Structure 1
Amino acid sequence: MLSASHSRIRIYRSELADTLRLSIPIVIAQLGVILMGVTDNLFVGRLLGAIPLGAAGLANSLSFLMSSIGVGGLAVVAALVAKANSQNDPAAINRLYRAGLRVGVLMSVVLSGLSVLLAFNFSLFGQSAEVTRLARDFMLILSASILPLLVFVGARQLCDGLRQPRVAMAITLSALLLNALFNYVLITGVGPFPELGLMGSATATLLSRLFMAGAMLTYIHRTARFRPYLLSAFRTLPTRSEVETILRLGIPGGLTFFFEVATFSLAVVIVGWLGEDRLAAHQIAINMASVTYMMATGISSAAAIRVGAAVGRRSREDVFRAGLAAFTLSVGFMSLAALLFLTANDWLVSLYIRDNPEVMRIAASLVIMAGFFQLSDGVQVVALGGLRGLSDVNVPTIITLFSYWVVALPLSYVLAFPLRMDAIGVWIGLLTGLTVAAVLLTVRFFQRINRVIPAAASSQPTVRIPD
């Protein structure tokens, strides 16, 4: 019995190590994407003040809301690539790569148009006249950046699915540095660059995303590692079936991501009704929570890839282990994040703004609330990743719709206004919705394992895919 116990410990230690190796580059890449918005807000808050910060935060949130359908929808491609790779099918990988790019371009056209339409109707959100004017112009520039963003996301699915996530990591980190540089020179007008103020920050994001898309495509098509999947013989293979598969799985997956992002974006709107100081404070706290969330989505992506590969091998035990390892890593990381938020909230807020004591006071209290929902946020996003690896997208979409739009948003409004709990009430509502989603999605994942891979089919030995 002791020997069996030691054997099980070694197995799960190996699972954790493999998930961690795959997760870290994805986490850094995901972090880099969200840190572009954080960088925008840091420069805007420090250089331009609270009202431009609130406008930039609102525009970034709503723009990310529009692009979230594409980002979430394309994420399914990596799991499909991992499954095809475990079945040694390079032709299928090529078709998935080309189909993913086509779906990315298609989605970007639709989502950019919706983003522009939203920008011209900003008055619907009931913000102050100055915030509305600044946020509208900011979002129009961000709308143009959705195309390069989704081209980058579509192309990176090939790298991630083939367990080469360091490519996206390196490109994203380079783009993050460029974004910081462009923010400074375009906001302030250094040297020959024009002084664009707040619009300089939006332009910096556009330029950085153009770099990301170009760098990713160049690397894939000029690197020997990907040559076996880009042979000229594959170029004439039809991709209609793969496009339909990505849309069939990706649209519900994108809507799942959309419902969560929309909840937090609409929470920004609700807080904006409470006043400009609350809006700026909320934006600071939600930026911090977004950083840890995007890091958890990296673990979620690793879960989707490893679960998808295990499904390709028809190994139920591998699916279970991959899922459990991802849950363990996410809970551990989010526990550390919660500890940081609860103990260093004042210092974290001071990184964003120093000259507005009221905003700092409110933000510090909201960062504490963000600490409380770290665990729920980490668990629910990893459960979604595991379910994506199982190609289970429809029921999770319903679960997220219920958790966020039936539970979280209405409760946030009731607590903030009728019960007069102010911005804290909004965050209590968000915490409740996240907790409901975490419980329901986790139960769904472990229930689906036996249904997707019956015990009789899970009889072949485990095959470890090397890095």
Structure 2
Amino acid sequence: MRSDLTDTLRLSIPIVIAQLGVVLMGVTDNLFVGRLLGAVPLGAAGLANSLSFLMSSVGVGGLTVVAALVSTARSQNDPAAVNRLFRAGLRVAVLLSLLLGGLSALLAYFFDLFGQTAEVTALAQTFMLILSASLLPLLIFVAARQLCDGLRYPRVAMAITLLALLLNAGFNYLLITGAGPFPAMGLMGSATATLLSRVFMAVAMLLYIYRSGKFRPFLESAYAVLPTTKEVWTVLRLGIPGGLTFFFEVATFSLAVVIVGWLGEDRLAAHQIAINMASVTYMMATGISSAAAIRVGAAVGQRSSAGVRRAGVAAFLLSIGFMSLAALIFLTANEWLVSLYIRDNPAVSTIAATLVIMAGFFQLSDGIQVVALGSLRGLSDVNVPTLITLFAYWVVALPMSYVLAFPFGLDAVGVWIGLLAGLTLAAILLTWRFFQRVRRLPMLTESAPR
């Protein structure tokens, strides 16, 4: 088990950093907006970021299945299959970006349906339109990085994401304030910074893949003429349910933002601060989840049921350890964390500090459920997990959040109690599902080559 923990950790760390970099772009936007522009633009940017991430979640979550499929093909020594999966992933990324980007723009056009204040609606609408245009480079980057992750070269995406994060921070300052020759775009400068950073990520990833010798065995010219129709349908068949699983969770948190917005602008800004912190730890846990999917997929390719179990258990242990540490930080340093986001607004700071404590309580449930999803994705088990998340988040979490916030009068805290209930239920059911599936793998051997 020690070797499994070490291997999972070695694979997870670069993926975690890359995942963290992606979500930190939204955090960076909110930090600059909150510090430079104030609470109302912060709430608008946070709401637009949440809804845009919701629209992209089907694509981002769906494309992650490619890494597990690439890992399985590589463990079976089939470079042609790896090539077809890579090209199929890019094709699916373009298709989904056009569909989801169009839906995101349509959502922005009808933004007043969310019942926010007129100022928040006006700011968030334009912000979201710019983010809609950034879905194409984002999904191309996500699709391309699946080749790197599946072949166990996750440091590529990590390095590119960190560079993009620095670019995003620089562009945020320059375009919000209008420093030097750059125009002062205010809140829209933050959205433009995200767009430019995502374009850089897509271009840099594709250039590295096609110019690096590491990937040359999988990019032979003879493979370029091989049809990918079957692989495209495989990615869609497995990826869409997986993407919907991600969507149901992200939608829950995005709609929770809307519910909190009905409580007032100060609560919306406070909720955005707390949810930003929770999304950082969540995205780090998704890195461990991705490592679980890759290692489980490799064990399936080696026909090892023992390897599947070890890969899953190692990921669960790592996630529990990391999220326990995150919970401790949230519970003990909540006021200091909030001070990083906003100043000179005691009302927002007080509410946000309370919500950060609530975020600390659901860290374990969040970490366990996302690792269970990754482990099941490695087994190509996507349909039942989708139904589980639909039930846990939309039948339990959201209704409970609304009832506790309004009829019971628990305000924003009630929303977070509902989220905690849904995450905990999902963690229990998905973990049970994974170990049930492992017990039903009679066609696999009990050992795997190291």
Indicate whether the TM-score tops 0.5: yes
Local SS of the residue matching 2:146? helix
Task: Provide the residue aligned with 2:255 in structure 1.
Answer: 266
| The one of 55, 59, 62 aligned to 2:48 | 59
Taking the aligned partners of 1:158 and 1:185, their CA distance within structure 2 comes to 34
Taking the aligned partners of 1:117 and 1:450, their CA distance within structure 2 comes to 45
Q: CA deviation at 1:401?
A: 0.2
1:321-400 correspondence to structure 2 within 5 Å: 321-400=310-389
Amino acid at match of 1:300: S
Taking the aligned partners of 1:266 and 1:253, their CA distance within structure 2 comes to 20
Amino acid at match of 1:380: Q
Local SS of the residue matching 2:179? coil
Amino acid at match of 2:18: A
Q: CA deviation at 1:444?
A: 0.1
Taking the aligned partners of 2:424 and 2:161, their CA distance within structure 1 comes to 31
Task: Provide the residue aligned with 2:34 in structure 1.
Answer: 45
Task: Provide the residue aligned with 1:5 in structure 2.
Answer: none
1:150-299 correspondence to structure 2 within 5 Å: 150-299=139-288
Given that residues 138 and 202 in structure 2 are in contact (C-alpha distance below 8 angstroms), is that contact kept between their aligned partners in structure 1?
yes
Write out the 4+ residue segments of structure 1 that deviate beyond 6 Å after TM superposition. Answer: none
Taking the aligned partners of 1:54 and 1:261, their CA distance within structure 2 comes to 18
Matched, 1:463 2:435: no
- Deviations, residues 224-269 of structure 1 (Å, cap 9, x unaligned): 0000000000011000000000000000000000000000000000
Taking the aligned partners of 2:374 and 2:337, their CA distance within structure 1 comes to 29
Q: CA deviation at 1:94?
A: 0.1
Given that residues 303 and 448 in structure 2 are in contact (C-alpha distance below 8 angstroms), is that contact kept between their aligned partners in structure 1?
no
Number of aligned pairs?
A: 450
Task: State the TM-score, normalized to the length of structure 2.
Answer: 1.00
- Deviations, residues 249-308 of structure 1 (Å, cap 9, x unaligned): 000000000000000000000000000000000000000000000000000000000000
Amino acid at match of 1:295: M
Amino acid at match of 2:20: L
Matched, 1:421 2:410: yes
Taking the aligned partners of 1:340 and 1:219, their CA distance within structure 2 comes to 37
Local SS of the residue matching 2:94? helix
Amino acid at match of 1:457: L
Taking the aligned partners of 1:457 and 1:432, their CA distance within structure 2 comes to 36
Taking the aligned partners of 1:398 and 1:385, their CA distance within structure 2 comes to 15
Taking the aligned partners of 2:418 and 2:103, their CA distance within structure 1 comes to 28
Q: CA deviation at 1:457?
A: 3.2
Matched, 1:319 2:305: no
| The one of 89, 99, 103 aligned to 1:110 | 99
Matched, 1:13 2:2: yes
Local SS of the residue matching 1:457? coil
Q: CA deviation at 1:450?
A: 2.6
Taking the aligned partners of 2:304 and 2:2, their CA distance within structure 1 comes to 19
Local SS of the residue matching 1:193? coil
Taking the aligned partners of 2:259 and 2:414, their CA distance within structure 1 comes to 11
Q: CA deviation at 1:449?
A: 1.2
RMSD, aligned CA:
0.5
Taking the aligned partners of 2:47 and 2:304, their CA distance within structure 1 comes to 45
1:136-147 correspondence to structure 2 within 5 Å: 136-147=125-136
Task: State the TM-score, normalized to the length of structure 1.
Answer: 0.96
